[in-house]
């Protein structure tokens, strides 16, 4: 614990050690659950895969509620995490069995596919380890800063990761089976089209969310975290960090997709090497910037390294994909950025107008400002995209129609429209 968080005092370490031991159980359950999650993805059963994290959060919420009635409240929260991880595992295991998977006991090390799996697994395990070590180093750096820096860093990071998980990771998981099929068939045209369409779909959704998060970051932090001992000073620091995190939302959302292109082509080495390089960039700039900017420097370094990783992956992708339709992507960026500027002006105007007429002294008043200003901005974004005849807007509307009316709404764009709600 002293290695992970050297800035913790003795009392904090004494509390953190038993918590860490207990939380290792959740790591064990989630590790096994990830195997069943992979099985569900291979069967294209994305609904159960998406529900599993909800059960995980339900367990955490349950533990938190019980903690409110117990003197040993922190340990109950940890038990809630363990319960949520167990529910996560049970749901995916039942789903895998229901899909037709059956366990077969044996030592198939001579099987060619098994040997290939172990060959691919090594770099992938190293890549995941790099990600976790990077997070540990960031936590260690935050722990030697002002009191509360670790909590502020993790709170801001958790908030900014929501759109990354909901959009970037979700799209990457959904398109991965199609990428694998294209790679197995050695069909570069299909792979290029899938990567291009998914990239544009992710950016179409993440760009306006970035604008919302930048302009309403203080309100978002205040609503999510502004209670108890989390005071106004902590809110300002977390909001500043959230703003820097938001600058790299596009890169964080595209990285899971680009990494899976390499996985589909049975290459886990290149993403691992790039992850290692960007981890060094992250740590180096965090050590450079935190003495000047405090804990905010961690968010700045994180966003810089995320952008570097995304750019390097994009460059490396050209080995497998001859063309990513860059001209079409550029046209989409011009349209979406223009629409985002209109949305930003709308958000700022409505935010100021709302604050003029409604005092922001209560929780509901701040929530109302987020929904009214954010809703006005998103509406302005979609209307502007429609006026620009954005192809991605048509995909988005078609996907909504399919989900709401259970019909296939064709988009005559010359390409298969990607379901933007997977």
Q: Is residue 411 part of a domain?
A: no
Q: Is residue 398 part of a domain?
A: no
pLDDT tens sequence across 139-172: 888 877 777 778 788 888 888 988 998 899 889 9
Residues 6+ apart with CB under 8 A from 362: none
Question: Do the beta carbons of residue 342 and residue 380 sit within 8 Å?
Answer: yes
**Which residue, of 105, 138, 158, is where some domain finishes?**
105
- Predicted pLDDT of residue 39: 85
- Predicted pLDDT of residue 268: 85
Q: Is residue 381 part of a domain?
A: no
Phi first, then psi, for residue 73 (nearest 5°) are -65, -35
Q: Is residue 336 part of a domain?
A: no
* DSSP states along 341-384: HHHHHHHHHHHHHHHHHS---SHHHHHHHHHHHHHHHHHHHHHH
Give the pLDDT mean for 335-348: 96
Checking if the pLDDT of 407 tops 50, the result is no
Rounded Cα distance, 152 and 240, in Å: 11
Q: Is residue 357 part of a domain?
A: no
The CA-based diameter of the chain, rounded to the nearest angstrom, is: 73
User: Do residue 22 and residue 127 come from a single domain?
Assistant: no
Rounded Cα distance, 192 and 318, in Å: 10
- Count: domains in the chain: 2
User: Do residue 188 and residue 305 come from a single domain?
Assistant: yes
Give the pLDDT mean for 211-239: 84
User: Do residue 94 and residue 158 come from a single domain?
Assistant: no
- Predicted pLDDT of residue 410: 40
pLDDT top residue among 105 and 162: 162
Q: Is residue 60 part of a domain?
A: yes
CA 8 and chain centroid, separation: 28
Q: Is residue 345 part of a domain?
A: no
pLDDT, mean over the chain: 84
Rounded Cα distance, 263 and 31, in Å: 19
pLDDT tens sequence across 280-339: 999 999 999 999 998 899 999 999 999 999 999 999 988 777 677 888 899 999 999 999
User: Do residue 77 and residue 199 come from a single domain?
Assistant: no
- Predicted pLDDT of residue 252: 94
User: Do residue 270 and residue 215 come from a single domain?
Assistant: yes
- Helix ranges (DSSP H) in 68-111: 73-98
Q: How confident is the model at residue 347 (pLDDT cuts 50, 70, 90)?
A: very high
Q: How confident is the model at residue 413 (pLDDT cuts 50, 70, 90)?
A: very low
Residue 420 burial by Cβ neighbours in a 10 Å radius (0-12, 13-18, 19+): buried
Which of these ranges, 116-120, 123-127, 402-406, 408-412, has the smallest mean pLDDT?
Answer: 408-412
Give the pLDDT mean for 353-377: 91
CA 9 and chain centroid, separation: 32
Checking if the pLDDT of 17 tops 70, the result is yes
Checking if the pLDDT of 411 tops 50, the result is no
**Which residue, of 301, 324, 347, is where some domain finishes?**
324
User: Do residue 79 and residue 221 come from a single domain?
Assistant: no
User: Do residue 99 and residue 124 come from a single domain?
Assistant: no
User: Do residue 34 and residue 165 come from a single domain?
Assistant: no
pLDDT tens sequence across 173-210: 888 888 888 888 888 888 888 999 999 999 999 999 99
Question: Do the beta carbons of residue 325 and residue 180 sit within 8 Å?
Answer: no
Rounded Cα distance, 3 and 290, in Å: 19
User: Do residue 172 and residue 299 come from a single domain?
Assistant: yes
Q: How confident is the model at residue 416 (pLDDT cuts 50, 70, 90)?
A: very low
pLDDT top residue among 414 and 41: 41
Domain that holds residue 29: 1-105
User: Do residue 145 and residue 19 come from a single domain?
Assistant: no
CA 285 and chain centroid, separation: 22
Q: Please give the DSSP secondary-structure letter assigned to residue 27.
A: H
Rounded Cα distance, 151 and 171, in Å: 30
The tokens of 200 are what? 């544009």
List strand residue ranges (DSSP E) for 75-213, in order.
none
- Predicted pLDDT of residue 346: 97
Q: Is residue 332 part of a domain?
A: no
- Predicted pLDDT of residue 108: 63
- Predicted pLDDT of residue 24: 87
**Which residue, of 306, 324, 342, is where some domain finishes?**
324
Give the pLDDT mean for 267-276: 90
Rounded Cα distance, 44 and 99, in Å: 10
Give the pLDDT mean for 79-91: 91
Q: Which of 201, 207, 248 is nearest to 336 (CA)?
A: 207
Q: How crowded is residue 47: how many other Cβ atoms within 10 Å of its Cβ? A: 10
**Cα-atom radius of gyration of the chain, to the nearest Å?**
23
Q: Please give the DSSP secondary-structure letter assigned to residue 338.
A: H
User: Do residue 77 and residue 133 come from a single domain?
Assistant: no
Q: How crowded is residue 209: how many other Cβ atoms within 10 Å of its Cβ? A: 22
Checking if the pLDDT of 228 tops 60, the result is no
Residues of the chain with pLDDT > 90, as a percent, come to 37
Q: How confident is the model at residue 42 (pLDDT cuts 50, 70, 90)?
A: confident
Residue 421: half-sphere exposure toward Cβ, Cα within 13 Å: 12
At CA 408, angle to CA 393 and CA 196, rounded to 5? 45
User: Do residue 71 and residue 134 come from a single domain?
Assistant: no
């Amino acid at each position: 614990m002293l290695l992970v968080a050297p800035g913790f005092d003795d009392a904090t370490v004494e509390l953190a050690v038993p918590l860490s031991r207990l939380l290792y159980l959740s790591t064990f359950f989630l590790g096994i659950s990830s195997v069943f999650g992979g099985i569900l993805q291979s069967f294209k059963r994305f609904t159960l895969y998406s529900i599993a994290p909800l059960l995980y959060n339900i367990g955490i919420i349950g533990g938190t509620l019980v903690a409110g009635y117990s003197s040993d409240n922190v340990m109950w929260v940890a038990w809630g995490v363990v319960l949520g991880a167990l529910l996560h595992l049970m749901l995916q295991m039942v789903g895998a069995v229901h899909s037709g998977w059956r366990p077969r006991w044996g030592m198939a090390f001579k099987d060619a596919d098994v040997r290939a799996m172990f060959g691919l697994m090594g770099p992938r395990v190293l890549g995941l380890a790099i990600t976790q070590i990077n997070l540990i180093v960031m936590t260690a750096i935050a722990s030697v800063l002002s009191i509360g820096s670790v909590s502020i860093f993790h709170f801001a990071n958790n908030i900014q990761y929501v759109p990354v998980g909901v959009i970037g990771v979700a799209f990457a998981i959904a398109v991965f089976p199609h990428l694998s099929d294209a790679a197995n068939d050695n069909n570069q045209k299909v792979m290029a089209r899938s990567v291009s369409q998914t990239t544009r779909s992710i950016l179409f959704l993440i760009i306006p969310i970035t604008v919302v998060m930048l302009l309403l970051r203080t309100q978002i932090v205040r609503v999510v975290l502004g209670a108890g001992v989390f005071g106004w000073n902590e809110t300002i620091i977390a909001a500043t960090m959230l703003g820097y995190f938001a600058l790299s939302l596009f890169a964080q959302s595209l990285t899971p997709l680009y990494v899976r292109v390499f996985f589909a082509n049975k290459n886990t080495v290149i993403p691992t090497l790039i992850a290692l390089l960007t981890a060094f960039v992250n740590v180096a700039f965090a050590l450079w910037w935190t003495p000047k900017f405090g804990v905010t420097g961690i968010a700045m370094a994180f966003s810089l390294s995320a952008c570097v990783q995304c750019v390097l992956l994009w460059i490396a992708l050209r080995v497998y994909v001859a063309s990513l339709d860059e001209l079409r992507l550029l046209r989409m960026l011009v349209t979406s950025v223009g629409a985002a500027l209109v949305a930003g002006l709308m958000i700022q105007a409505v935010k100021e107008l709302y604050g003029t007429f409604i005092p922001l002294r209560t929780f509901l008043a701040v929530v109302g400002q987020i929904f009214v200003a954010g809703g006005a901005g998103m509406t302005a974004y979609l209307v502007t995209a429609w006026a620009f005849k954005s192809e991605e807007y048509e995909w988005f509307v078609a996907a909504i129609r399919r989900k709401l009316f259970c019909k296939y709404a064709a988009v005559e764009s010359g390409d298969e429209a990607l379901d933007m709600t997977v």
